[in-house]
Amino acid sequence: MVPGGREVGEHLVDDPRVALVSATGSVAMGRAVGPRVSARLGRCLLELGGNNAAVVAPSADLDLVVRGSVFAAAGTAGQRCTSLRRLIVHEDVADEVTDRLAGAYRQLRERIGDPFDDATLVGPLISERGHAAMQDALARAQADGGTVVAGGGRVGEDAAPAAYYVEPALVRMPAQTPVVEEETFAPILYVMTYRTFEEAVELHNGVPQGLSSALFTRDQAEAERFVSAAGSDCGIVNVNIGTSGAEIGGAFGGEKETGGGRESGSDSWKAYMRRATNTVNYGGELPLAQGVEFL
C-alpha cells in the first residue's frame, strides 16, 4: 500500500528511483507488478495469495483443533492472507472433527453482524463481488461432490441490504478438486481426509500457494517432519495452533505463488537496504598483486 491511492502506486511501480517495491495482494496483482519492476531491473518484495491448510493427525488434541480451526477460518470473515481454507483430517477422526466444527459454526450464526458491536465475532465481506465469489465457489464445490455441512448463506440482508454478512461455510469434500486449489477470499473451510502422513503432506503441498500451514499432532516425529524440508512447503509452519497465528518477531511471507518475500523478522530490514562492499586504504602505499610495480 502507498499513500495517494492506485495512481501513485502505479507511478512508483515504474519509477526507476524506487529501488524496491513491496506489494501485498493477490497473485494476479503480483503477476502484473513483478514484470514491470523487473523490466527496469528493480526489486520486488511480494506477499501474495494464501490457500492455507492444517493437517489433523489421529493423535491430535481435538479441543485445540476446533479452537484453532474456527478462529483461523472464520476470523475476519475469512479475509486474511493467513485464513485457514483447507483442513486435511485423518480418516479415523474426520467425522468427529467435522461434527464438532459444525457445532461451533452454528454458534457463530448468532454473532454475525456489525464489527463495531463488541458481541460480534464475524463481520461482513468486503463487497458484493466477494459475496458472489463465495457463492460461486460453494456451487462449484457441490458440483464436485462436496457437501455444505454448515453455513454458507447470507444473513441480515433486510437490516443492512448494502452489507454482505455471511455464515462461515464448512464443506466436506471427497477430494482436492480445482476449486479447493484456488484461494477464495471468504470464510469457506474445505474438509478432506487422508490415510497416511505422506498422503497428508502431498495434499497439503498440492496447491500453487505457499504462505501458512499448520499441523495438529501429539506425535513429535510427525511435527519434526512437517516443519522440515520434507514437510510443509510454506513460509510459515505452525504446530498445534492455527494458520493465522503468525509470531510478530518471525519472518512473514511464503513460497511458490505467494511470492517468496519476507516481511518482519530479524533479517527483514535487509530487503529494504542496499548492500555495498567498502574497502578503505588508510595507508600511504598501495601494494599490488603479484608484486606489480609501475615505473
Active site residue 222: no
Residues 44 and 57 in one domain: no
Residue 82 CB neighbour total at 10 angstroms: 24
At 127, list the grid cell.
463487497
Residues 104 and 146 in one domain: yes
Which pLDDT score is estimated for 270? 85
Active site residue 202: no
Return the residue matching grid coordinates 450464526: 109
At 212, list the grid cell.
501458512
Residues 152 and 103 in one domain: yes
Q: Is residue 5's pLDDT more than 70?
A: no
Q: Is residue 9's pLDDT more than 80?
A: no
Bridge partners (DSSP) listed for residue 54: 87, 214
* Torsions phi, psi for 244 (to 5 deg): -85, 0
Which pLDDT score is estimated for 140? 98
- 246 pLDDT band, cuts 50/70/90, is low
Q: Does any domain span residue 85?
A: yes
Q: Does any domain span residue 11?
A: yes
Residues 38 and 59 in one domain: no
By CB atoms closer than 10 A (0-12, 13-18, 19+), residue 145 is: exposed
Residues 139 and 225 in one domain: yes
Tell me how far apart the alpha carbons of residues 251 and 189 are, in angstroms, rounded to a whole number.
Answer: 26
Q: Does any domain span residue 13?
A: yes
Tell me how far apart the alpha carbons of residues 84 and 177 are, in angstroms, rounded to a whole number.
Answer: 17
Q: Does any domain span residue 164?
A: yes
What is the rounded end-to-end Cα distance, in angstroms, of the chain? 59
Q: In the listed set 239, 263, 288, which residue is the last one of a domain according to the structure?
A: 239
Q: Does any domain span residue 248?
A: no
| Over residues 131-135, mean pLDDT | 98
Which pLDDT score is estimated for 6? 54
Tell me how far apart the alpha carbons of residues 51 and 198 are, in angstroms, rounded to a whole number.
Answer: 19
Residues 135 and 261 in one domain: no
Q: Which of 212, 239, 207 is nearest to 225 (CA)?
A: 239
| Over residues 251-258, mean pLDDT | 93
- 1 pLDDT band, cuts 50/70/90, is very low
Residues 201 and 264 in one domain: no
Residues 78 and 56 in one domain: yes
Which pLDDT score is estimated for 265? 84
**Domain range for residue 92?**
52-239
24-47 tens-digit pLDDT:
989 999 999 999 999 999 999 999
Q: Does any domain span residue 259?
A: yes
Q: Name the catalytic one among 7, 44, 81, 255.
A: 81
Q: Name the catalytic one among 7, 44, 47, 167.
A: 47
Say which CATH number the domain at 62 has. 3.40.309.10
Domain total in the chain: 2
Residues 216 and 259 in one domain: no
Q: Does any domain span residue 99?
A: yes
Q: Mean pLDDT, the chain, as a whole number?
A: 92
DSSP run (H or E) holding 56: strand 52-56
| Over residues 231-250, mean pLDDT | 90
Select the more confidently predicted residue: 158 or 92. Answer: 92
Which pLDDT score is estimated for 269? 84
Q: Which of 184, 232, 246, 253 is nearest to 30 (CA)?
A: 253
Q: Does any domain span residue 291?
A: no
- Percentage above 90 pLDDT, the chain: 79
Residues 183 and 266 in one domain: no
Residue 111 CB neighbour total at 10 angstroms: 12
Residues 203 and 232 in one domain: yes
Q: Is residue 162's pLDDT more than 60?
A: yes
What is the 8-class DSSP label of residue 22?
Answer: E
Residues 43 and 59 in one domain: no
Q: pTM here?
A: 0.90
